[in-house]
Structure 1
Amino acid sequence: MIRPDAGVPQEPVPVPQLVSELAAELGAAGEPEPVWRNALGGLTFKAHRADAQWFIKWQDITALAPAQQAEADLKAEAARLRWAGQFVNVPEVVDDGARSGQAWLVTRAISGLSAYVPQWRQHPEETVRAIALGLRRFHDALPVADCPFPLSWASAAPDAPAPEQLVVCHGDPCVPNTLLDERGQFLAHVDVGALGVGDRWADLAIATYSISWKVNFGRSYDQLFFSTYGVDPDPVRINYYRQLWDRS
Structure 2
Amino acid sequence: MHETARSDDDFNEDLLPDLPAGRTWVPVGSGESGDKVYCRSDGVAYAKLSQGLGAARLDGERRRTEWLAATGLGSLTVLDWRMSDSGACLVTRTVPGVSASELSASALSAAWPSIARQIKALHDLPVADCPFERGLSTMVDRAADVVGRGAVNPDFLDPDQRAIPAAVLLARLQADMPRRLAQEAGDLVVCHGDACLPNVMVDPDTYRCTGLIDLGRLGTADRYVDLALLLANARESWTSPGDAPAARARLFDIHAIAQPDQERLDFYLRLDPLTWG
TM-score interval w.r.t. the shorter chain? 0.7 to 0.9
Partner of 1:9: none
1:58 maps to amino acid: L
Matches within 5 A, 1:36-185: 36-49=29-42, 53-61=44-52, 69=54, 73-87=57-71, 88-118=73-103, 120-140=104-124, 142-151=125-134, 155=138, 158=174, 159-160=176-177, 161=180, 162=182, 163=184, 164-181=186-203, 182-185=205-208
Measure, in 1, the Cα distance between the counterparts of 2:84 and 2:34: 17
Q: 1:150 to 1:21 in 2, by over 3 A?
A: closer
Measure, in 2, the Cα distance between the counterparts of 1:60 and 1:144: 31
Partner of 1:32: 25
Measure, in 2, the Cα distance between the counterparts of 1:34 and 1:143: 37
1:81 maps to amino acid: T
- 1:223 and 2:249 are equivalent in the alignment: yes
Q: Is residue 169–residue 195 contact of structure 1 (8 Å, CA) maintained in 2?
A: yes
The number of residue pairs the alignment matches comes to 227
Q: 1:28 to 1:153 in 2, by over 3 A?
A: farther
Cα offset, 1:188, TM superposition: 0.9
Structure 2 gap ranges (5+): 141-173
Q: 1:241 to 1:17 in 2, by over 3 A?
A: closer
Name the one with the larger helix percent: 2
**Scaled by the length of structure 1, what TM-score is found?**
0.78
Q: Is residue 166–residue 200 contact of structure 1 (8 Å, CA) maintained in 2?
A: yes
2:256 maps to amino acid: G
Q: Is residue 154–residue 244 contact of structure 1 (8 Å, CA) maintained in 2?
A: no
Measure, in 1, the Cα distance between the counterparts of 2:19 and 2:238: 36
Measure, in 2, the Cα distance between the counterparts of 1:230 and 1:224: 10
Higher relative contact order (CA 8 A, sep 6+): 2
Instruction: Choose from 16, 20, 31 the match for 1:22.
Output: 16
Measure, in 1, the Cα distance between the counterparts of 2:75 and 2:50: 21
1:56 maps to amino acid: A
Measure, in 1, the Cα distance between the counterparts of 2:68 and 2:238: 28
Measure, in 2, the Cα distance between the counterparts of 1:152 and 1:28: 45
For residue 26 of structure 1, give the secondary structure of its aligned residue in structure 2.
coil
For residue 188 of structure 1, give the secondary structure of its aligned residue in structure 2.
strand
Partner of 2:212: 189
1:38 maps to amino acid: G
Q: 1:233 to 1:5 in 2, by over 3 A?
A: farther
Coordinate RMSD, CA, aligned: 3.1
Measure, in 2, the Cα distance between the counterparts of 1:28 and 1:223: 51
Q: Is residue 20–residue 32 contact of structure 1 (8 Å, CA) maintained in 2?
A: no
Measure, in 2, the Cα distance between the counterparts of 1:156 and 1:46: 31
Name the one with the larger strand percent: 1
Measure, in 2, the Cα distance between the counterparts of 1:96 and 1:196: 21
Structure 1 gap ranges (5+): 7-12
Identical-residue share of aligned pairs (%):
29
Q: Is residue 195–residue 229 contact of structure 2 (8 Å, CA) maintained in 1?
A: yes
- 1:206 and 2:200 are equivalent in the alignment: no
Q: Is residue 36–residue 48 contact of structure 2 (8 Å, CA) maintained in 1?
A: yes
